[in-house]
Amino acid sequence: MYYPGCSVKDYAKSYEDSAIAVLKLFDVELVELDRWNCCGVVYEYSADAVMQHVAPLRDLIRAQEFMSKIGDNRLVTLCSMCYSTLKKVNEIVTSDSEKLNNLSEYMDDEPRYNCGVDVKHVLEIILDDSIMGLKRIKEAVKRDLSNLRIASFYSCSLLRPKGIGIDDPEDPHIMLDLISSLGAKPIKFPYEKRCCGSYNVVYDRSIVERTVMEIVKAAGRWGADMIITVCPLCHYNLNIVRNKFNIPTIYFTELMAYAMGLDETLSKETLSIFKSKIGGG
Amino acid sequence: MAGQTESKKTVKIYIMGREYEVPAGITIMKAVEYAGYQYIRGAGCRGGFCGACATIYRLKGDYRLYTALACQTTVQDGMYLVQIPFAPAEKVRYNIEELKPTGSTVLALYPEIARCVACNACTKACPQELQVMDAIQMIKRGDIAKAAELCFDCISCGLCSIRCPAEIVHYHVFQLVRRLYGKYIAPKAKHLEIRVKEVEEGKFDMELDNLVKMSPTELKELYDSRDIESPEG
């Protein structure tokens, strides 16, 4: 099952296109939920109350209804904010039946949630040796990226909180491993797990501009040609200063698609980024 | 007298708190008139299409607030009801020629859409049984065509908007969405363009002039001798 999230359908369409193409190459099919709504991130992240959990729980119920149709209880997201929100609420209602009861009272228009959905970030699928794994990814690479130096930017919601995050929040490595497997040079830099400024961009763009300036500048000092990320909001924020430092931020799946020669799924803009960085391709 | 022996079934309803005994099986709208009220607002087509007779009610012993169209819903015993002929809301002014058919366009004009928490109160309130919340969600993800499809049967009764905790004015939003769809996304009707061009070029002028010149008797004759399509063809 696949939960896209609003960003991935609109602003971050290139994330979805490249991810689906890469996974398809490995016979992994993402089947989009036939009905879904916003994961509820804005309210979910604000404070601990009932209303904020309604949207994510409704999505979990949609997944529960859908999973019997495709015989698979794994719900995959691309956007790390959607992942974090759905995963967290899934854990909350699974471990706290009183909370689930409270929420269900507000949602008497839906069947009860049985806590049987397994929320996954797409990176977990990609790194799982029984599904894809780094070894097979290495084999699928068709382009020489050895001159490309790539920094990874993890996004808070992929690493934190502990238990929800899918990598060591202090010393993450999965994106670096992926970059290595694709044959490019991974750049580990000190700001890889910093917050990009998140939704502050809506209220005060200057806060975010200051933050991403530091991040992207540092990536440049550590020698990166480009940055990869898992989060549409990080992507948006980091790209505010892309021209200042000539360091664009792209989705990690776009890098994978390029490495594997899936050019037809990539936007002209993304292709031109690669061309300018390695020349010709 | 015949019919008098038949026991007349009635139900008790409460219109704005006052008790009335009305015949069972009639619509809320007829019951309100039976009770002696005269409609000045809040009644239109009486056929479930115009959305003028939005009604809210509760039933005895039930905490839920129900919504209905008065002309489409039969009275029930113990119904507490009131009609809401108008859902107050400001319609944002825009020039459709200057807009792009995107989610951001709609969000910029009606930013409260971003406050949707997916509580589904709008969907539960809709007397047309539309997937109202899903339509709002389609706007958030930028799918104007799907949003327009989901809200196609909206009759602008406003019941969703008075139930929405995010205070979205769905019926105005949906009108904008359908206009964007009609202007920018829906396939153009080519035959219409051709016909308009023909009209402008005067293809039918002579025929029309002839009709104008005809006497009432001649017109009647022409009308009576017209081709009538029969179902058999």
DSSP class per residue in B6-75: SPPPEEEEEETTEEEEEETTSBHHHHHHHTT---SSS-S-SSSSS-TTEEEEEETT--PPEEEETTT-B-
CATH number of the domain at B116, please: 1.10.1060.10
> Which are the contacts of B210, defined by CB distance < 8 A and separation ≥ 6?
none
Q: What CA–CA distance (Å, rounded) separates A231 from A77?
A: 11
> Which are the contacts of A138, defined by CB distance < 8 A and separation ≥ 6?
A181, A182, A183
Q: Residue B48's CB: how many other CB atoms inside 10 A?
A: 14
CB-based contact A59:A36 (threshold 8 Å): yes
Q: Total domain count for chain B?
A: 3
Helix, strand, or coil (residue A251): strand
Q: Is the pLDDT of residue A196 over 90?
A: yes
| Cβ <8 Å between A10 and B120 | no
Choose the mutation target among B102, B120, B122 for the interface with A, i.e. most A CBs under 10 Å: B120
| B100 lies within 8 A of chain A by CB | no
Q: What CA–CA distance (Å, rounded) separates A151 from A179?
A: 9
Confidence of residue B5 (pLDDT cuts 50, 70, 90): very low
Per-residue pLDDT tens for A137-183?
Answer: 999 999 999 999 999 999 999 999 988 999 999 999 999 999 999 99
Distance from CA of A163 to the nearest CA of B (A): 25
Same-domain check for residues B100 and B175: yes
Q: Which of B114, B134, B143 minimises the CB distance to A37?
A: B134
> Which are the contacts of B73, defined by CB distance < 8 A and separation ≥ 6?
B27, B28, B55
Q: What letter would DSSP give residue A182?
A: T
Considering the entire predicted model, what is its pTM? 0.78
Same-domain check for residues B145 and B206: no
Distance from CA of B134 to the nearest CA of A (A): 7
Q: What is the pLDDT of residue B140?
A: 95
Same-domain check for residues B119 and B177: yes
Least confident of A101-110, B143-152, B211-220: A101-110
Q: What letter would DSSP give residue B186?
A: S
Average pLDDT of the segment spanning B140-149: 97
Query: What are the backbone dihedrals phi and psi of residue A164, each rounded to the nearest 5 degrees, phi first?
Result: -100, -45
Confidence of residue B3 (pLDDT cuts 50, 70, 90): very low
Q: What CA–CA distance (Å, rounded) separates A174 from A188?
A: 11
| Cβ <8 Å between A58 and B114 | no
Same-domain check for residues B172 and B152: yes
Nearest alpha-carbon partner for B133 in B163, B156, B178, B88: B163
Confidence of residue A87 (pLDDT cuts 50, 70, 90): very high
Query: Structural domain of residue B20, as residue ranges?
Result: 10-83
Q: Residue B206's CB: how many other CB atoms inside 10 A?
A: 9
Q: What is the pLDDT of residue A278?
A: 84
Q: What CA–CA distance (Å, rounded) separates A34 from A124?
A: 23
Q: What CA–CA distance (Å, rounded) separates B70 from B26?
A: 10
* A57 exposure class (CB count in 10 Å sphere: 0-12, 13-18, 19+): buried
Q: Is the pLDDT of residue B233 over 70?
A: no
Same-domain check for residues B178 and B111: yes
Q: Residue B47, Cα to own-chain centre: how many angstroms?
A: 10
- For chain B, the residue count is 233
For chain A, list residues whose CB is within 8 angstroms of any CB belonging to chain B: 4, 6, 9-10, 35-38, 40, 42-43, 51-52, 54-55, 58-59, 106-107, 109-110
Q: Where are the domains of chain A?
A: 2-123, 130-278
CB-based contact A187:A261 (threshold 8 Å): no
| Cβ <8 Å between B118 and A40 | yes
Q: How far is CA B194 from CA B189, B190, B205, in A?
A: 9, 6, 16
Provide the token pair at A269: 């803009």
CB-based contact A230:A193 (threshold 8 Å): no
Confirm whether the ipTM is greater than 0.90: no
Percent of chain B exceeding pLDDT 90 equals: 87
Distance from CA of A44 to the nearest CA of B (A): 9
Confidence of residue A109 (pLDDT cuts 50, 70, 90): confident
Nearest alpha-carbon partner for A8 in A24, A32, A34, A42: A32
Same-domain check for residues B168 and B207: no
Q: What CA–CA distance (Å, rounded) separates A96 from A48?
A: 13
CATH number of the domain at B28, please: 3.10.20.740
Q: What is the pLDDT of residue B15?
A: 96
Show the beta-strand stretches assigned E in chain A.
2-3, 74-77, 118-121, 149-153, 185-187, 226-229, 249-251
Q: What is the pLDDT of residue A281?
A: 42
Q: Which residue of B has its CA nearest to A7?
A: B141
| B114 lies within 8 A of chain A by CB | yes
CA angle at A174 for the pair A169 and A176, rounded to the nearest 5°: 110
Same-domain check for residues B122 and B168: yes
Q: Is the pLDDT of residue B229 over 90?
A: no
Q: Residue A160's CB: how many other CB atoms inside 10 A?
A: 15
CA angle at A22 for the pair A61 and A84, rounded to the nearest 5°: 35
Cis omega before residue A161 (within 30°)? Answer: yes
Asked whether this chain's domains A2-123 and A130-278 adopt the same fold, the reply is no
Provide the token pair at B100: 């792009």
Same-domain check for residues B105 and B181: yes
The answer as to whether B146 is a domain residue is yes
Confidence of residue A21 (pLDDT cuts 50, 70, 90): very high
Same-domain check for residues B122 and B164: yes
The answer as to whether B227 is a domain residue is no
Q: What CA–CA distance (Å, rounded) separates A57 from A148?
A: 42
What CATH architecture applies to the domain A2-123?
Up-down Bundle (1.20)
CATH classification code of A130-278? 3.40.50.11810
Q: What CA–CA distance (Å, rounded) separates A277 from A220?
A: 13
Using a CB-CB distance cutoff of 8 angstroms, which residues of chain B are in contact with residue A4?
141
Q: Residue B158's CB: how many other CB atoms inside 10 A?
A: 22
Q: What is the pLDDT of residue B232?
A: 63
> Which are the contacts of B220, defined by CB distance < 8 A and separation ≥ 6?
none
Q: Which residue has the tokens 């130096």?
A: A149
